[in-house]
Chains A and B, each alone.
Chain A
Amino acid sequence: MISTGRLFHIIFRKPRSWRHNYIFPASQFSFVFGEYDYSFRFESPEIVAGITKSGNFVVYERKSPDESVRKVIGSSAGKVIVNPVEPVNLPQEITRFLEIHFTPVVLAPESENQIYVKFPVEIAVFLESKGNYDVLDIFSLNRPKYALYGPPDQGVITRHFESEVFDDIPETDACREGVMELTIRNLTRGWIEVSRVVFENTGIYIYYGDCVSMVGQMDIFSKTNAETKTLACPLRQGMNPAIPLFTARKSLIPENLTFLMEFGVGE
């Protein structure tokens, strides 16, 4: 029986440049992230989005179960870029942190382990012209959920996601989930049980190719302290870097921010 996830697909017509686009395997999706002209269309049972001509206007429209978006685009000279982006924007941006809860992993003293976990994907539609990007819309097939990491007075709100732990790159529904290769280094002299990781989402590096991916690193200093960051390298050779939202929004945020987890790495 076909999974619900596999039913979702995105149909983009007349992509302008196939060189930068990647088509997901036909068995999985008719799905493309990359650059398009103004005639693209995205269709899933839940969300329909696309650009249409309406008189002299070019109009972007999206219909989701909870909301409808309609925007008039002032120029028909640009192009559209569809990329996976940092999953902290929906329903509205209230945090910069992504928290992944996973099956507890017990680490030996002074050891290094590599695991794979899934993370949620949000899809951004960018407009591009003369090297300038702007975010036209962001949507997701995931139902977002948030949590508090740490105590209310010192902690941070995080975009919460629960994942299993995999020893190899898992198969994912790329519309909904990405794969993170997470290297966990236990720098302590004791056994440590890890079941969550929090990333500072501004400046994370997402790549897309045969899946959406990130490469993360977590250095554990104690049961309560760890430092996390994502690395600017793809999971596999040939993957394309996604446009970071902070670049498109021209936010003055330094790249590659690390996050110090001060409130524990376990439950």
Chain B
Amino acid sequence: MITLDTVIYNDVVVMDLIIFVAWVTGALVLAKILAIYMKRSFSDRISKPELDKLLKVIQVMLILIAIYFGFPRIEVNLSEIILVGGTASLIIAFASQKLVSNFGSGLFLLIERPVKIGDNISIGDVSGNVEEIRILSTIIRTYEGIYIRVPNEKVFSSDITNYVANAARRFQYVIGISYRDDAEKAIGIISDLLEKHPYVLRHPEPSLFVSELAESSVNITVYIWAPSATWWSVKTEMLWKIKAALEENGIEIPFPQRVISFSGENLPDPGKTAYKAE
């Protein structure tokens, strides 16, 4: 009859085998719980196929660790396995240095979250919207609609500009008006126009001031805060509206111009000329 003390081989008894199986089962359950938790936490940060891959890798690693620590219980000698495995690991590590680097970078990107899916970013010389954040790479769709795959190592080590990471952002216009026109009136017209636009934020409020007495114009600088989600449409929409509103109110936006005065000494005297002609 088989009891808990029944020897299976060497000093390994049935009880040892049960403990080993329970240990590995526990690891399986833990891996499952971890997968559920990670799915909840990361589902909005990473695409589903990539998340599934990541979860599988983590689950397998967890189970392998459990088996590794469980082996002594069933007297499996790991020294040879470690020796062979260690050597193999070194070879694999050298061979897949880039792969591991990208994988590690991918994990750090998920933790640090400098970019999210849908963000409007610039990495190095690549600008566009983040389509996917994969384990090894980040997919960007440029503004021209081109697919670009950037290795995560590059993403991680590059300067990242995220245009929509903050809730709101500021942009500016410099509007030049003629020296003959009233700058205060122009500021009032522009302010009224900005007030009517829903996405020109009330707080922080727009800032308008005469910033420069330039060669051809009096320059008014306009700082506008807009929601990051809509700033581009506001920027492209408002400039022409400002121009139209100013012109409608008789304020001129001048071309570059230069007033040339001639010195009186060098000019012929019109009176004398007329006298001589007589």
Do they bind each other? yes
**Taking the nearest CB of chain A, how far is it from the CB of B4, in angstroms?**
49
Task: Please tell me if A160 contacts chain B, counting CB pairs below 8 Å.
Answer: yes
Stretch of B64-72, B200-208, B241-249 on the interface side? B200-208
Stretch of B89-97, B163-171, B251-259 on the interface side? B163-171
Bound Cα distance A148, B227 (Å): 8
Q: Mark A168-196, 1 if CB is under 8 A from B, else 0.
A: 00000000000000000000000000000
Stretch of A10-18, A150-158, A199-207, A237-245 on the interface side? A150-158
Residue pair A91, B198 in contact (C-beta under 8 Å): yes
* Contacts known (A94-B227, A94-B229, A157-B227); A146 close to B199, Cβ less than 8 A: yes
Residue pair A157, B168 in contact (C-beta under 8 Å): yes
Among A91, A144, A148, A160, point to the contact of B168 (Cβ < 8 A): A148
Bound Cα distance A145, B205 (Å): 12
Residues of chain A lying within 8 A (CB to CB) of residue B198: 90-91, 143-146
Among B165, B167, B229, point to the contact of A155 (Cβ < 8 A): B167
Task: Please tell me if A147 contacts chain B, counting CB pairs below 8 Å.
Answer: yes
* Contacts known (A91-B198, A146-B202, A147-B202); A152 close to B169, Cβ less than 8 A: yes
Among B196, B201, B230, point to the contact of A148 (Cβ < 8 A): B201
Contacting residues of chain B (194-224) with chain A, CB-CB under 8 angstroms: 196, 198-199, 201-204
**Taking the nearest CB of chain B, how far is it from the CB of A214, in angstroms?**
21
Residues of chain B lying within 8 A (CB to CB) of residue A160: 201-203
Bound Cα distance A94, B201 (Å): 13
Residues of chain A lying within 8 A (CB to CB) of residue B196: 143
Residues of chain A lying within 8 A (CB to CB) of residue B227: 94-95, 146, 148, 157
Residue pair A148, B225 in contact (C-beta under 8 Å): yes
Residues of chain A lying within 8 A (CB to CB) of residue B166: 152-153
Residues of chain B lying within 8 A (CB to CB) of residue A150: 167
Chain A: CB-nearest residue to B170: A152
Among A91, A148, A153, point to the contact of B204 (Cβ < 8 A): A148
Among A90, A94, A156, point to the contact of B230 (Cβ < 8 A): A94
Most buried by B among A144, A152, A153: A152
Q: Mark A223-237, 1 if CB is under 8 A from B, else 0.
A: 000000000000000
Residue pair A148, B203 in contact (C-beta under 8 Å): yes
Bound Cα distance A148, B202 (Å): 8
Chain B: CB-nearest residue to A95: B227
**Taking the nearest CB of chain B, how far is it from the CB of A121, in angstroms?**
16
Chain A: CB-nearest residue to B169: A152
Bound Cα distance A95, B228 (Å): 11
Residues of chain A lying within 8 A (CB to CB) of residue B167: 148, 150, 152-153, 155-157
Residues of chain A lying within 8 A (CB to CB) of residue B168: 148, 152, 155, 157
Residues of chain A lying within 8 A (CB to CB) of residue B229: 94, 157
Bound Cα distance A153, B227 (Å): 12
Bound Cα distance A95, B67 (Å): 49
Most buried by B among A91, A148, A153: A148
**Taking the nearest CB of chain A, how far is it from the CB of B163, in angstroms?**
12
Residues of chain A lying within 8 A (CB to CB) of residue B169: 152
**Taking the nearest CB of chain A, how far is it from the CB of B113, in angstroms?**
14
**Taking the nearest CB of chain A, how far is it from the CB of B74, in angstroms?**
47
Residues of chain B lying within 8 A (CB to CB) of residue A90: 198
**Taking the nearest CB of chain B, how far is it from the CB of A133, in angstroms?**
26
Bound Cα distance A156, B227 (Å): 9
Q: Mark A120-144, 1 if CB is under 8 A from B, else 0.
A: 0000000000000000000000011
**Taking the nearest CB of chain A, how far is it from the CB of B204, in angstroms?**
6
Contacting residues of chain A (85-129) with chain B, CB-CB under 8 angstroms: 90-92, 94-95
Residues of chain B lying within 8 A (CB to CB) of residue A148: 167-168, 201, 203-204, 225, 227
Bound Cα distance A254, B167 (Å): 23
Q: Mark B156-175, 1 if CB is under 8 A from A, else 0.
A: 00000000011111000000
**Taking the nearest CB of chain B, how far is it from the CB of A145, in angstroms?**
5
What are 10 A-to-B residue pairs whose CB atoms are below 8 Å? A146-B198, A146-B199, A147-B203, A148-B201, A148-B204, A152-B169, A152-B225, A153-B167, A155-B168, A157-B229
8 extra interface residue pairs, beta carbon distance < 8 Å, beyond A90-B198, A152-B225, A157-B229: A91-B199, A94-B227, A94-B230, A147-B201, A147-B202, A152-B167, A157-B201, A160-B203
Hey, which bits of chain A sit against chain B, CB under 8 A? 90-92, 94-95, 143-150, 152-153, 155-157, 160
Hey, which bits of chain B sit against chain A, CB under 8 A? 165-169, 196, 198-199, 201-204, 225, 227, 229-230
Which 8 pairs, one residue from A and one from B, show the smallest C-beta to C-beta distance? A147-B203, A152-B166, A147-B202, A144-B198, A148-B168, A157-B227, A153-B166, A160-B202
